C-alpha cells in the first residue's frame, strides 16, 4: 500500500502585495480596479494580458494611456470602453518584470488575479507531491518576491488532498469525455507518486495524443477545483 503523503495534492497560494515595477502600481496614482482575464506567454521575454479596468473616474484612463512609460507594459494593443468608467484592454508585458514569472516554477493550473488601487491580489492553484511542510515553499516565495521589487502585505499557503476531492465533487460542467479520462487517470494511479501509469500509456489507451490528454486533464482539474471551492468554500 502506498503512503498517503506521496499522493498528489493541491497547493493553494493566496497573496496580497505591491509590485512597484508593474503597471498595477499606477492604479494607486490613477485609482482603479483591474481584473486580469487571460494571460498568454508569447516568448521568454513577453506576455500578453487581457484585462478589464474600472476607474473611479474615466478621465484617469486617458491620463493612464498618456504616460510614455507604463512600468512593465511594452505596448497597448487594444482598448475599448465598455461602460461609463470601465475599459477592456489588451497589452504586452515585459515578462521579466512580472510576478507570474516567479510563480511559474509552481506550474499553476488555475489563477485568479485582480488589482485595486496599487495592490495585487493573487490566488493560484498547483498540483504537488511535497511530503514536508509548506514553510520552505513559503520562505522561497517571500525571498523571490521581495527580490523583484515587491512588498508582501500578506501571503498564505494551504494544502488540499486531491484524492479526497475527485470522488465527491465531479462537477456537471465536465463533459462525458473529460469525466471518463479524469476518472481513468485517477483509478489507474496517474496522480500517485511514483505514477502507476505513464502519460504515454494513458494516451494510448484513450486513443489521443499526449498533448491532447494533458489539455483534457488540466481543463478537467480546473473545473473540478473551481466547483469544489464554490461549494465548499475553503477560502
Last residue of a domain, one of 135, 160, 185: 160
Name the average pLDDT for the chain.
85
What would the mean pLDDT of 209-216 be, rounded to a whole number? 92
- Residues 68 and 86 grouped into a single domain: yes
- Res 158: pLDDT: 85
- Residues 58 and 126 grouped into a single domain: yes
- Residues 179 and 213 grouped into a single domain: yes
For residue 228, pLDDT beyond 70: no
* pLDDT tens sequence across 152-198: 999 999 888 776 655 544 556 788 888 889 888 988 888 877 788 99
Last residue of a domain, one of 160, 187, 217: 160
- Residues 154 and 183 grouped into a single domain: no
- Residues 190 and 142 grouped into a single domain: no
pTM over 0.75: no
- Residues 136 and 180 grouped into a single domain: no
- Res 136: pLDDT: 83
* pLDDT tens sequence across 33-89: 999 998 988 999 999 999 999 999 999 999 998 888 899 999 999 999 988 899 999
**Crossing angle (nearest 10°) for helices 176-187 and 210-232:** 90
- Res 233: pLDDT: 42
Question: What domain count does the chain have?
Answer: 2
Domain that holds residue 39: 9-160
- Within-domain flag for 152: yes
- Res 165: pLDDT: 54
- Residues 35 and 139 grouped into a single domain: yes
- Residues 60 and 133 grouped into a single domain: yes
- Within-domain flag for 187: yes
For residue 137, pLDDT beyond 90: no
- Residues 50 and 150 grouped into a single domain: yes
pLDDT tier at 1 (50, 70, 90 boundaries)? Answer: very low
- Residues 126 and 200 grouped into a single domain: no
For residue 203, pLDDT beyond 50: yes
| 53 burial level (CB within 10 Å; 0-12, 13-18, 19+) | buried
- Res 98: pLDDT: 93
Last residue of a domain, one of 140, 160, 180: 160
- Within-domain flag for 26: yes
| 224 burial level (CB within 10 Å; 0-12, 13-18, 19+) | buried
- Within-domain flag for 4: no
For residue 18, pLDDT beyond 90: yes
- Res 163: pLDDT: 66
- Residues 55 and 87 grouped into a single domain: yes
- Residues 204 and 135 grouped into a single domain: no
Amino acid at each position: 500500500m502506498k503512503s498517503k503523503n506521496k499522493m498528489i495534492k493541491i497547493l493553494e497560494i493566496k497573496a496580497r502585495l505591491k509590485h512597484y515595477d508593474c503597471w498595477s502600481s499606477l492604479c494607486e496614482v490613477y485609482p482603479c480596479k483591474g481584473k486580469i482575464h487571460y494571460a498568454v506567454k508569447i516568448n521568454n521575454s513577453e506576455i500578453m494580458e487581457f484585462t478589464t479596468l474600472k476607474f473611479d473616474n474615466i478621465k484617469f484612463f486617458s491620463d493612464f494611456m498618456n504616460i510614455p512609460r507604463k512600468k512593465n507594459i511594452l505596448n497597448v494593443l487594444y482598448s475599448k470602453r465598455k461602460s461609463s468608467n470601465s475599459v477592456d484592454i489588451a497589452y504586452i508585458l515585459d515578462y521579466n518584470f512580472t510576478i507570474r514569472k516567479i510563480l511559474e516554477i509552481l506550474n499553476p493550473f488555475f489563477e485568479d488575479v485582480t488589482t485595486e488601487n496599487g495592490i495585487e491580489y493573487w490566488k493560484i492553484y498547483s498540483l504537488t507531491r511535497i511530503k514536508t511542510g509548506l514553510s520552505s515553499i513559503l520562505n522561497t516565495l517571500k525571498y523571490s518576491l521581495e527580490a523583484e521589487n515587491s512588498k508582501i502585505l500578506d501571503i498564505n499557503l494551504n494544502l488540499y488532498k486531491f484524492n479526497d476531492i475527485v470522488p465527491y465533487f465531479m462537477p456537471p460542467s465536465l463533459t462525458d469525455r473529460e469525466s471518463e479520462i479524469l476518472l481513468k487517470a485517477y483509478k489507474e494511479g496517474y496522480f500517485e507518486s511514483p505514477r502507476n501509469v505513464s502519460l504515454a500509456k494513458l494516451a494510448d489507451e484513450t486513443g489521443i495524443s499526449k498533448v491532447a490528454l494533458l489539455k483534457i486533464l488540466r481543463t478537467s482539474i480546473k473545473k473540478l477545483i473551481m466547483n469544489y471551492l464554490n461549494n465548499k468554500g475553503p477560502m
